[in-house]
Amino acid sequence: MSLFIPYKDMWDMPLGGMSDEKQVPHWFGNAVYVVVGGLCKLLFRYRVDGRQNLRAFHNECGVLVVCNHTSFLDVAFIYLAARTKQWVRIIGRDTLFRNANGLLGQILSRVGAFPIKRDSADRVAIKRAARMLKNREIVGILPEGTRRGKGNLEPKLHSGAAFIARMGKAPILPMTVRDAEYVKQKGSRVHFPKITVEYGTPILLSDFDFLPKDERLDACSWYAMRECFALSRRIPAAEVDMVELFPDSKDYANTFAEHPIPKHTSEEVVALYKAQMSPRVQIAEVAEAQA
């Protein structure tokens, strides 16, 4: 049992996946799941829909989980929904890891999280995430960067999620944490609504190859976030008003209406991934993940 590990060291340690290297100790993450998961089950009576869409990737290939961001509880439910079978390496803003003189950084790192610098091309974080995906781990990201409707910052739509997926040779899996935003609203007391976590269907970057090369990542990230909001609002994706949500971003609604992106099951994506990888490539990728 490892009690004292510099949290920066844990950012480059595997958690799950195929690497034979020493992993982030599991005991703390398991304890967090029991305590936090128990409290959330009691207070919010949460359930997880579509979890089989995540389970299909277990030890088969990496997957980048993306989620819209409405509440500080989103991160907790992204983590809880994958347990106990899988771990999610959540990307969080770097300032969180320095809070409480680094104590929060120690806690977050022990459950698999790692930092990224906000509003910058953080190459270290991107390479770290890509290495995890190649090691068949799960990486979780909240692409909006801040909670919608909370604070002074406006959510923005970046291509970072698609870029990480491309670097890590992994599919994207949209998800949402529904109704967590009603736990605490400005000017009101704390409420305990029933919360639902829902996974959608996976997205392949190759399905966007019909677009000009310089637009593929932006379009893929736009599409993935539209899927998240469709899950959140329980409406067809075509009915999500992305112009209202992201007024400063290019709108691809007409593009995808004219050229629909095919739907895939997680099992189909895993089968495609395995078919494309020869044993030699698999060995090379595991070695690269360990390097």
Give the pLDDT score at 242. Answer: 97
Residue 1: pLDDT band with limits 50, 70, 90: low
Q: What is the pTM of this model?
A: 0.92
- Report domain extents, the chain: 7-290
- Closest listed residue to residue 78, CA positions, set 129, 139, 134: 139
Residue 180: pLDDT band with limits 50, 70, 90: very high
Cα distances from 268 to residues 67, 246, 285, 288, in angstroms, run: 22, 31, 21, 25
Backbone angles phi, psi at 64, to 5 degrees: -100, 115
- Closest listed residue to residue 184, CA positions, set 176, 195, 174: 195
Residue 278: pLDDT band with limits 50, 70, 90: low
The CATH class for the domain spanning 7-290 reads alpha beta
Considering only the C-alpha atoms of the chain, give the largest distance between any 2 of them, rounded to a whole number of Å: 59
- Asked whether the predicted pLDDT for residue 233 surpasses 70, the reply is yes
